[in-house]
Amino acid sequence: MTRLSILSNVNVDIIRSYLDKKFDIYLPYGYNAWFSEVLDESSGLIKFSPEVIVVLIDVNAALDKCSSDSGRYSVINELLSEINVVVQKFQSCLVLVNTIDVVNRQIKPIGMIDIGKVLEAKWNARLQRLSKEHQNVRILDLKSSIEGIGRRKFYDLKMWYLGNIPYSIVGFTEIANEIELLWRAYFAQRKKCLVIDLDNTIWGGVVGEDGYQNIILSESKEGARYRDIQKRIKELKDLGILIAVISKNNQEDVRQVFSKNKYMVLKLKDFVAVKANWVEKAKNLGELANELNLNPDSFVFLDDNIVEQEQMASIFPDVAIIRIDGSSFYSERTLIDAYKRYFPTLTVTKEDRERTEQYKNNRKRNELVLNSINIGDYLSKLRIELSIGLASQSDFERISQLTQKTNQFNLTTRRYTVAMIDNIANDSSHLVFIGRVRDRYGDEGLVWVCIIERNGDSAIFDSVLMSCRVMGRKIENAAMAYIEGYCKKIGIKMLHGEYLKTSKNAPVEDFFEKFDYRIVQEDEKGNKQYEKELTFTLPFPKEIKLVEL
């Protein structure tokens, strides 16, 4: 389990029970002990060695001691500088810092700007700067949570007076959910494809019966509910989530809605695939999974029909299923909740934005395979270009993302945050290589990562991984040939490899064998250690054009 520590100036012990199924939790013990534990190198906090730190400050408790506005300013300044120390000290952790809600409880003249608003603005400005400067610092938006739920429900004054506990059960539950959401988003634990139905899902009515001009879909009133659903789906697509249609309909009817109904927000080109036919939906999904080279557990299925949902669940229990409730006016909520639950995202990379195009290009490549006489012929026709070399700062985000997401073509499955990649790349004993791939159908972006740790005249492969969508194109042959050549040039004589078996990385279990590495050790779990003396370098596949970065 992930080690999480919550640093707070008030009693937040209750939150433990809402998070302890997912996290090992450490709370500094004792009133206001949080900051001294940050400073003290022998404290329980430092020994615990947290991976996630939540700074959950209740400023009202801190401000309560002040009687003047200048006193309030200095309390806020002091807290912010303490937070700064936390950020400096825990650079390899995910650090979540809360926004504040200053509650005015004093009796004082009315009709003036509330000092609380000024303090909140100051706090927010600092947090915004911190989160811009530090990839690992993210904002826990307590203020928005309180606004959504309302102060009366969020705070619990009785618990405050009884035990220094500021929030209600509702409040703590909300905070716990937000923490979990940010954590999942940071470590990119998300699904990849949203599969949607059409009738009574993204428009009202049945197009096959009502016709494309009579379905319920409009700018305002009843049809706006569906238009809002479409807007939310479009936003998901723009965040790099693939969207596809699986619907029992005539293809021609569907095409007409997309091309002729002017209220459609979603366009055909937004979808990675549209399967409008009368085949069982699970069968369509199975085909789609094959075409996109994704596991069923990467899919979320949105449908209004409970029978369809149950059929899908019986055949693909790993597909997540969500339902549009036709009787509710707030159906877009289903999408917003689905986003939080299955697709949370903190940042969007270039690769994310171009994902739909890339998967579509892949389908074109598959067609090319069918028209080629052999693999060499196919690869030559593809005109692949591999740009490879050492990573630079602007690649770190994507590298981290790949280490977090790649399961199949991943030799060691080591997961790294952006901050960790930053450390590794700036460490003189490590080399971080990246490869970008382009071919006649488009740009795949950064799809290959290899991290090497050098030790004198030998080196070990810490990580070797590749996005699974470029598998089967000899990219790895070209990349390994380049990397071995690079190593030889800088005086490395011996290379060590490692394969750490997981439930998903069977596709690369013979990776090092393929490149003539010798097994030096193999354990009962299937983990293997290799070595190879660098006398010859590997042949470079002639179908691939190499560009050195």
Closest approach, Cβ 70 to other proteins, in A, equals 34
Closest C-alpha among 71, 95, 110, 83 to residue 9 = 83
Distance separating alpha carbons of residues 3 and 51, to the nearest angstrom: 5
Work out how close the CB of 170 gets to other proteins at its nearest, in angstroms, rounded to a whole number: 7
Q: Residue 150: how many CB atoms within 10 A of its CB? A: 10
Q: Which is nearer to other proteins, 159 or 285 (CB)?
A: 159
Query: For 268-331, where are the alpha helices, taking DSSP H only?
Result: 281-292, 306-315
Minimum gap (Å) between residue 26 Cβ and other proteins? 16
Contacts (Cβ under 8 Å, ≥6 apart) of 37: 7, 28, 43, 44, 45, 46
Min separation Cβ 23 and other proteins, Å: 16
The two structure tokens encoding residue 331: 């159906």
Closest CB 156 distance from other proteins, rounded Å: 7
Nearer to other proteins, 56 or 236 (CB): 56
CB 323 within 8 A of CB 337: no
The distance of closest approach from Cβ of residue 169 to other proteins in the complex, given in angstroms and rounded to an integer, is: 4
Give me the residues paired with residue 453 across strands.
430, 460
Smallest separation (angstroms) from other proteins to the CB of 426: 44
Q: For residues 14 and 276, which CB has a smaller minimum distance to other proteins in the complex?
A: 14
Closest separation between CB of residue 163 and other proteins, Å?
5
Beta strands at 52-55 and 94-98: parallel, antiparallel or unpaired: parallel
Neighbour order of strands in the sheet with 430-439 = 518-522, 528-533, 494-499, 458-466, 442-455, 430-439, 384-390, 544-548
Binding site for other proteins (CB under 8 A): 11, 13-14, 17, 156, 158-159, 161-163, 165, 168-170
Residue 541 carries which DSSP code?
P
For other proteins, the closer CB: 20 or 69: 20
Q: Which phi and psi (to 5°) does residue 346 adopt? A: -95, -40
> Could you tell me the smallest distance in angstroms from the CB atom of residue 181 to other proteins?
22
C-beta of 148 vs 163, nearer to other proteins: 163
Q: Which of 236, 237, 226, 228 is nearest to 198 (CA)?
A: 226
Burial class (CB in 10 A: 0-12, 13-18, 19+), 57: buried
Nearer to other proteins by Cβ, of 22 and 122: the residue is: 22
Q: Which is nearer to other proteins, 170 or 369 (CB)?
A: 170
Distances (CA, A) of 225 to 91, 160, 176, 222, 234: 44, 42, 30, 6, 14
CA 532 vs. chain centroid, Å, equals 36
Least distance to other proteins, CB of residue 56, Å: 17
β-strands 137-140, 94-98 pairing = parallel
Taking the least distance from each CB to other proteins, the nearer of 28 and 116 is 28
Q: Yes or no: say if 224 and 317 are a contact pair by the CB < 8 Å rule.
A: no
Give me the residues paired with residue 546 across strands.
Answer: 386
Nearer to other proteins, 93 or 159 (CB): 159
Smallest distance from the beta carbon of 164 to other proteins, in angstroms?
10
Query: Minimum Å distance from CB 188 to other proteins?
Result: 32
Q: Is the distance from CB of 156 to CB of 170 less than 8 angstroms?
A: no
CB of 19 or CB of 324, closer to other proteins: 19
Q: In what order do the strands lie in the sheet with 320-323?
A: 273-277, 242-248, 193-196, 299-303, 320-323
Is residue 93 within 8 Å of 43, Cβ to Cβ? no
- By beta-carbon proximity to other proteins, the closer residue of 153 and 414 is 153
Nearer to other proteins, 161 or 278 (CB): 161
* Identity of the residue, 165 or 319, whose beta carbon is nearer to other proteins in the bound complex: 165
**Cβ pair 7, 54 in contact under 8 A:** yes
Q: How far is the CB of 14 from other proteins (least distance, A)?
A: 5
The enclosing H or E element of 117 equals: helix 115-133
Asked if residue 297 lies in contact with residue 263, where contact means CB atoms within 8 angstroms, the answer is: no
